[in-house]
Structure formats: structure tokens, C-alpha cells
Amino acid sequence: MSGSRHHVARPKWSGFHAELANARVELPVIFISGHADIPMSVRAMKAGAVEFLTKPVRRQDLLDAIYSAIGPRTSTI
């Protein structure tokens, strides 16, 4: 399954939020922002992001987020 990468500037947040909330895709989203604040992180998590990281991202934090997002899963097939 292919991932998706978006660069989101603050003025486009509303459109991205709607896109993320309406996607209905079982693809984990890790939100990374250089312009983060608490309300933005709360909106991202409520919209379905599995993790919210701020730039500069520490390598271990990113690896932990990725493992958390795709780590141990049970198959539904």
C-alpha cells in the first residue's frame, strides 16, 4: 500500500483537516509540522492522525511514531 505525503501551510489547514477527516482510509497518518500549536495538534489527532510531531523531528521520535503506526497488527483477512 502506498503512503501519502502532504506539506501543509497554516492557511490550508482547514482543507487538509477536512480531507483527513473524510478520507475513511485505514492508512496511518503521522502529522509533522514546523508551525505547531496545541489546538492544531488536537485537531490533527481528532481527525485521525496517529501521531503529531514538531520540526525539527528527532530521528528516534519519528521511528517510534512509525513503529506505533504500523507495529503489531492483527490481520482481518
pLDDT of residue 63: 94
pTM for this one?
0.60
Burial 38-73 (b: 16+ CB within 10 A, else e): eebbebbeebbbbbbbbeeeeeeeeeebeeeeeeee
**Rounded mean pLDDT of 49-54?**
91
pLDDT digits (tens, 9 = 90+) for 31-49: 898 988 898 888 888 888 8
Report the share of the chain in percent with pLDDT over 70: 61
